[in-house]
Amino acid sequence: MKKEYMTIISMILIFMLVAVFYIDICYARTLYWGTRGEDVKEVQEKLRSWGYYKGAVDGIYKTQTYEAVKLFQRKNGLRVDGVVGGETKKALGISSRKVASKYNKTVEIAQRKLKQWGYYNGSVDGIYGRNTYSAVIKFQRRNGLKVDGYIGPETEKALGITGKTKAQNYTATSKGVSKTDDLTLLAMAINGEARGEPYVGQVAVGSVILNRVKNPSFPNSIAGVIYQPLAFEAVSNGQIYEPIESNSYKAARDAMNGWDPTGGALYYWNPVKSTSTWIWRLNPTLRIGRHVFAKR
């Protein structure tokens, strides 16, 4: 019996050693000139986001990557050899073991939001892998955040992830009009675009966003409309991330419940501030506060 017990223990130990060896092969290999793979892409993205690398993120360790690695090593007090080993990976913040299989609720919520907004096309599994990292990098770069691939407090805020959001199941909808997270996102947009406007004007701004969601010429989700490039000044200047006033939530609810003071408008602008020449080709239908509204 004792002999059988020792045999089982030995087999378990051997299995564990093999598993560790396999992980080392997959995730801890040293990268050097001529190496190819997803781990090379990760290094290239890190170096590119920090300004060391200007080449293609193609997963091929060539001259530009080599020179960028050496520059990074020199700037960070590392051995300058152009080889990405353990110390250089650590300095780059790369630890594939750490993210290989650990589920995280915040990551799952971020994946759903990034997927709905067009940044992410991978599985929503709560595991922070290569695709999630790339999506976070793109989101941070687009929204003027520190580009480090880390879902920290500022990135969480930009994604609309709060303590309350973390505690609930985030459910994306095909049309982007839900009663939970989309309400918050719409309120953020109203708050950034129409803070200080008459209440009916705040509802009107929310209505324009919802009208665009339903119009085939625009993205078919609230997030898609709001984050469409150059669509809203509040996204460009960061006002969308300011603390949300209670009236903005109320206006978002009224708009989502069907109140449309604009009668179906798809556009609005402030004639005092607008610098877009094309906007003046539209036919204004009404004015509320400082905003002019138009259907076409």
Q: Look up the CATH number of the domain holding residue 133.
A: 1.10.101.10
Higher pLDDT, 170 or 33: 33
User: At 276, is the secondary structure helix, strand, or coil?
Assistant: coil
Instruction: Give a yes or no: residue 173 inside a domain.
Output: no
Cα 182-183-188 angle, rounded to 5 deg: 95
Residue 172 lies in a domain: no
Residues 21 and 82 reside in one and the same domain:
yes
Over residues 198-215, mean pLDDT: 94
- DSSP letters along 121-176, please? -S--SSB--HHHHHHHHHHHHHTT---SS---HHHHHHHT--HHHHHS-----TTS
Q: How many other C-beta atoms can be found within 10 angstroms of the C-beta atom of residue 176?
A: 22
Residues 284 and 198 reside in one and the same domain: yes
Tell me which long-range contacts 117-120 makes (C-beta under 8 A, separation of at least 24): 117/221, 117/223, 117/224, 117/227, 118/224, 118/227
Contacts of 130 (CB under 8 A, 6+ apart): 38, 41, 42
Which pair of tokens denotes residue 25?
């092969």
Q: Which residue has the higher pLDDT, 206 or 13?
A: 206
Mean pLDDT of the region 96-106: 55
Q: How many domains does the chain have?
A: 3
Can you name the residues that pair with 293 across neighbouring β-strands?
Answer: 268, 286
- Residue 107 sits in the same domain as residue 87: no
Average pLDDT over residues 219-224: 80
Residues above pLDDT 70, as percent of the chain: 78
Interatomic CA distance for residues 64 and 86, integer angstroms = 21
What is the domain extent for residue 204?
181-294
Shared domain check, 111 and 55: no
Q: What is the pLDDT of residues 237-264, one digit of tens each?
A: 888 878 888 899 999 999 998 999 999 9
Helix (H) or strand (E) holding 182: helix 181-194
- Say which CATH number the domain at 276 has: 1.10.10.2520
Query: Can you read off the two tokens belonging to residue 13?
Result: 């130990």
Rounded Cα distance between 144 and 154, Å, is: 10
Q: Are residues 93 and 106 in the same domain?
A: no
Q: How many alpha carbons lie under 13 Å from residue 20 in its C-beta half-sphere?
A: 6
